[in-house]
């Protein structure tokens, strides 16, 4: 976790690097002393309010006036005391998150919420408030309902996991109308104009999974690809992973056998997988596109099928347990806690510090095995 600010005139550390925060700008001069905002306004022959708009990158200033003020700021080497100004103004920055709710099916989303809380602990003292809204990742109709509630409150920025393409498109259009910036995590839809995306490159993630499996199998061996969701037709992350996986085997698509499991109960999963294995004896590996790979491992052990290679996603306790037993061979992990942390900090630095934003920040695609899992953190 990044340490909080403890002393004035020090570096504010984040996982992005650091921002040097000047509690006393211009070598001890306050903003109303020579070299501060008043001096900039006097030289530019504009009001203090106009200078403030330029410093905080707000609209309402002509390009010519903005250029003149920026030149004077550079000449005076003026560093705005942004954090002190926020503390003095007592202005509240209202952020909101819209993520899938934590469920009994997977602990994945709980890890992202831990990242939100981590960032919140660091910036709460700066007047930042984060409201939480949730939808059901098994029910696409729950997304617009949660989005509608989110839009009712005061809003300066949104952190969003856009799992459902159509519903996310409509919601992002509403945010654009309100001129509210939003950051995507976990799943990216480039056409929707987010401030930035923090998360895995989903296509490459699927491609890497196929590449790794190909190393472990014979040329004629087949792979069972398992999607576990009620909403497979509209669930963007799983579809992109599948596209990447299929792209690797582009010349031999018949090596992939696919099964979708719309029911969430274990018996349905076991039945679908058992049917696929019974129908094709050449299946020697199973690729699960989500974090519920432990359910496949559990079934294979009970069925006495311990010679099938198994790969899935996410560093969750139940997955790690089956990894240790040797029933899961590889876990693909992409730091969900850090995704959420970086997403919140991006909104904060953009809205408060006026910091430049990196359009895409891809998480590493980490391969975790029984031999290295004890050294990994989300």
| Cβ atoms of residues 368 and 315 within 8 Å | yes
Lowest mean pLDDT segment, chosen from 41-55, 164-178, 242-256, 328-342: 41-55
Q: Given a cut of 70, is residue 88 above it in pLDDT?
A: no
Sign of CA dihedral 174, 179, 180, 186: positive
Domains and CATH numbers, the chain: 24-80 (1.10.260.40), 91-200+336-363 (3.40.50.2300), 202-333 (3.40.50.2300)
Q: Is 178 helix (H, G, I), strand (E, B) or coil?
A: coil
32/34 Cα distance (integer angstroms): 7
362/108 Cα distance (integer angstroms): 18
Q: For tokens 């981590």, what's the residue?
A: 118
Cα dihedral 86, 87, 89, 90 in deg (nearest 10): 110
Q: For tokens 């987010």, what's the residue?
A: 194
| Entry field: residues in the chain | 378
The phi and psi torsions of 225 (rounded to 5 degrees) equal -100, 125
Q: At what angle do helices 317-325 and 293-302 cross, to 10 degrees?
A: 40
Q: What is the pLDDT of residues 149-207, one digit of tens each?
A: 999 989 999 999 999 999 999 999 999 999 999 999 999 988 899 999 999 999 999 99
Three-state secondary structure of 266-311: HHHHHHHHHHHHHHCCCEEEEEECCCCHHHHHHHHHHCCCCCCEEE
**175 CB-contact burial (10 Å; exposed 0-12 / middle 13-18 / buried 19+):** buried
Q: Given a cut of 50, is residue 5 above it in pLDDT?
A: no
Question: How distant, in Å, are the alpha carbons of 186, 223, 236, 241 from that of 254?
Answer: 30, 9, 23, 18
Beta-bridge partners for 259: 226
Nearest to 168 by CA among 98, 228, 232, 115: 98
Q: Given a cut of 90, is residue 333 above it in pLDDT?
A: yes
Q: Return the structure tokens found at 329.
A: 């061979």
C-alpha distance across the termini of the chain, in Å: 11
Nearest to 40 by CA among 72, 74, 80, 66: 72
Q: Return the structure tokens found at 249.
A: 């085997």
Q: Given a cut of 70, is residue 273 above it in pLDDT?
A: yes
Q: Return the structure tokens found at 92.
A: 């509240």
| Cβ atoms of residues 30 and 36 within 8 Å | yes
251/180 Cα distance (integer angstroms): 45
pLDDT average, residue stretch 18-47: 60
pLDDT-derived band at 109 (thresholds 50, 70, 90) equals very high
What was the pLDDT predicted at 16? 43
pLDDT-derived band at 7 (thresholds 50, 70, 90) equals very low
312/206 Cα distance (integer angstroms): 10
CA 248 to chain CA centroid, Å, is 25
Q: For tokens 């969003």, what's the residue?
A: 160
Q: Return the structure tokens found at 326.
A: 């040797």
Pairing of the two strands 128-135 and 157-160: unpaired
Q: What is the pLDDT of residues 57-68, one digit of tens each?
A: 778 899 999 999
| Cβ atoms of residues 228 and 290 within 8 Å | yes
What was the pLDDT predicted at 89? 55
Element (H, E) at 110: helix 108-123
169/208 Cα distance (integer angstroms): 28
């Amino acid at each position: 976790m990044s340490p909080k600010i403890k002393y004035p005139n020090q570096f504010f550390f984040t996982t992005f690097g650091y921002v040097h925060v000047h509690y006393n700008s211009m070598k001890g001069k306050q903003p109303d002393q020579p070299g501060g905002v008043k001096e900039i306004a006097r030289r530019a022959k504009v009001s203090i309010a106009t200078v403030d708009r330029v410093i905080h990158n707000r609209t309402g200033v002509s390009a010519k006036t903005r250029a003149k003020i920026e030149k004077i700021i550079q000449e005076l080497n003026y560093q705005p005391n942004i954090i002190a100004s926020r503390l003095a103004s007592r202005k509240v920055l209202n952020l909101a998150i819209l993520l899938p709710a934590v469920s009994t099916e997977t602990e994945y989303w709980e890890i992202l919420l831990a990242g939100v809380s981590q960032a919140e602990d660091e910036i709460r003292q700066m007047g930042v408030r984060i409201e939480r809204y949730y939808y059901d990742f098994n029910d696409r109709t729950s997304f617009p309902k949660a989005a509608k509630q989110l839009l009712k409150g005061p809003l300066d920025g949104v952190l969003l996991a856009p799992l459902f393409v159509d519903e996310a498109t409509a919601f992002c259009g509403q945010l654009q109308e309100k001129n509210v910036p939003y950051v995507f995590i976990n799943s990216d839809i480039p056409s929707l104009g987010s401030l930035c995306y923090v998360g895995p490159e989903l296509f490459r993630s699927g491609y890497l999974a196929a590449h790794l499996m190909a190393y472990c199998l014979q040329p004629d061996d087949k792979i069972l690809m398992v999607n576990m969701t009620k909403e497979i037709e509209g669930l963007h992350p799983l579809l992109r992973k599948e596209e990447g996986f299929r792209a690797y085997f582009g010349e031999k698509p018949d090596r992939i056998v696919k099964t979708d499991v719309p029911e969430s109960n274990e018996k349905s999963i076991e039945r679908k997988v058992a049917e696929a294995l019974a129908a094709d004896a050449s299946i020697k590996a199973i690729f699960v596109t989500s974090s519920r790979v432990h359910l496949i491992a559990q079934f294979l052990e009970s069925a006495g099928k311990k010679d099938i290679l198994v790969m899935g996603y996410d560093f969750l306790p139940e997955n790690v347990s089956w990894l240790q037993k040797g029933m899961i061979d590889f876990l693909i992990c992409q730091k969900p806690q850090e995704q959420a942390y970086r997403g919140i900090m991006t909104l904060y630095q953009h809205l408060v510090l006026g910091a430049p934003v990196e359009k895409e920040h891809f998480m590493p695609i980490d391969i975790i095995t029984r031999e290295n899992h004890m050294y990994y953190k989300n």
